[in-house]
Amino acid sequence: MNSYLTYHRRNLLAAALIFAVMTAGVTAHLGYLMIFRSEHYSRMADELHERERIIKAARGEILDRNGTVIAANRTVCTVSVVRSQITDTEEVVRALTAELGLSEEEVRPRVEKRSSREIIRTNVDKETGDRIRAYGLSGVKVDEDYRRYYPYGSLASRVLGFTGADNQGVIGLEVRYEDYLKGQDGRILTLTDAKGVELDHAAEDRIEPVAGNTLTLSLDVNIQKYAEQAAYRVMEQKGAKAVSVIVMDPRNGEIYAMVNAPEFDLNEPFASGADVSDKTEKERQEFFNQMWRNRCINDTYEPGSTFKIVTAAAGLEAGVVSLDDRFSCPGFRIVEDRKIRCHKVGGHGGETFLQGAMNSCNPVFIDVGQRLGVEKYYHYFERFGLLEKTGIDLPGEAATIMHKKEDMGPVELATVSFGQSFQITPVQLITTASSIVNGGNRVTPHFAVKAESKDGTAVREFKWPVRSGIVSEETSATMRYILEQVVAEGSGKRAKLEGWRIGGKTATSEKLPRSLKKYISSFLGFAPADDPQVIALITIDEPVGVYYGGTIAAPVIADIFENTLPYLGIKFGEAAD
């Protein structure tokens, strides 16, 4: 009996010891939580009784060089419900169905869903939001938000770009300068009881949003309009697939206009006019990606005879040719086993280098290319910046597609010398031409000028690289003279403009595959010819009928200059500022 009692006493003692140890452990842990982790759990408790709502920041406006607003914001509303705060479900369903134009089947499941906050609809116009707010329905929240708005619709659509449902930039300058434009959201914190109902007399904790910065561009709304009107006119007249125009200041790279006709409506970027309902999601995305492409920077093409500007400048700079050098054009050149024709089948006969440039004679430029040779020619490609991107402040710039030096034989050298068998972007061509005619400074084409806070405080003034010594001032002056003669008496005479001295170069390039017989007509012009302050390039893709650049492209640049030069206050013989 004693042994039995002793056994049970030992068991009880062991159990008591175990219980005491466990109690001590729990007490110690509780003390640790109360002393060392009290702030953490206090914060968690507060969060259970706090409800957070975001106050959207206004996106920064985008202005043209004259302060005209070209990207702004419209106030819209986000309508949501908090189930635990709704006192009359049927009334809420009826009101939201009527005001938002949704079916009861769409609204009721969201209203009855047990969640901290359920969004019913976003991008609701402010008038509708105000009407819903006036109902005074418990549990219904109407928060103001912003939606991007473009006052000029399709103007410069592929340059400006647009924003998505979250108001973040998708393409163009909107995405390039997202960090400057987006702003900083604010928030509202409200206290609730255990059921999630907001407490009437509890103070709100409010953090105000910070609006995005205002971005000022070099783009000019009026010049953009001039250029777009001219582009659409020639596109319609010639039944062309597309027309692109760039208008730029060759002295500093500021872009006044960039046209990609046909443009699209920035306020409805998915309204293509085409039926895409039968396409897969991937196919639809690819369709819109193509629609939104900026051909001036994203696409490359064979420049044709406008590239003779580069060959001429390289030849003059290297000293392998002068204005009075004599050439003979029988209508072709034989290079190895290839017969490369001039555009004039019967040939130009005997001519000087100046006359060859005015006539846009292929054999003359083949000869200049051969005099340079591959090594020197490649040296000038690199020196002029042709083998690198321009650095324009738009996303997706394409690089030059050029033969590798070791793969460039006599035939490739010949075809490159008059602008065939390689591809560049329009922005690369106009940038390189600018450096040749502006005295030899390689500028960086750009749009951004400055960023300011909402109250006008300076945030950043954008500076862009300039590389000097591309060509000598002497070569630059000679090139300006040559290109002025091209317009005065040569292939670009349809770009003549009474009262101004215009320089330029025409081009007609055949698209690949050449068997399709489709062309790109182009003209690059600048003014005043002796002191370039404006330079412009037009490309007309697949014109129907007459397709020569000197015939259909040169007059368009003359038309743009006729409006642009007086607008900018540029007069005949006027010196640069």
Distances (CA, A) of 265 to 18, 75, 271: 77, 20, 8
Distances (CA, A) of 568 to 256, 332, 437, 534: 11, 44, 20, 9
| Spatial contact of 564 and 557, defined as CB atoms under 8 Å apart | no
Query: Which is the catalytic residue, given 80, 157, 218, 305?
Result: 305
Give, for 76, the enclosing helix (H) or strand (E): strand 69-81
Closest among 399, 448, 401 to 298, alpha carbons compared:
399
Give strand ranges (E) for 275-346: 326-329, 332-335, 338-341
Contact 504, 485 (CB under 8 A): no
Nearest to 301 by CA among 156, 421, 411, 446: 421
Across 189-227, b (16+ Cβ under 10 Å) vs e yields: bbebeeebbbeeeeeeeeeebebbbbbbbbbbbbbbbbb
DSSP three-state, residue 404: coil
Q: Where are the beta strands (DSSP E) in 126-161?
A: 140-149
Tokens 């982790």 — which residue?
37
Of 363, 400, 369, 375, the C-alpha closest to 385 is 400
Active site residue 305: yes
Looking at the annotation, which residues are catalytic? 305
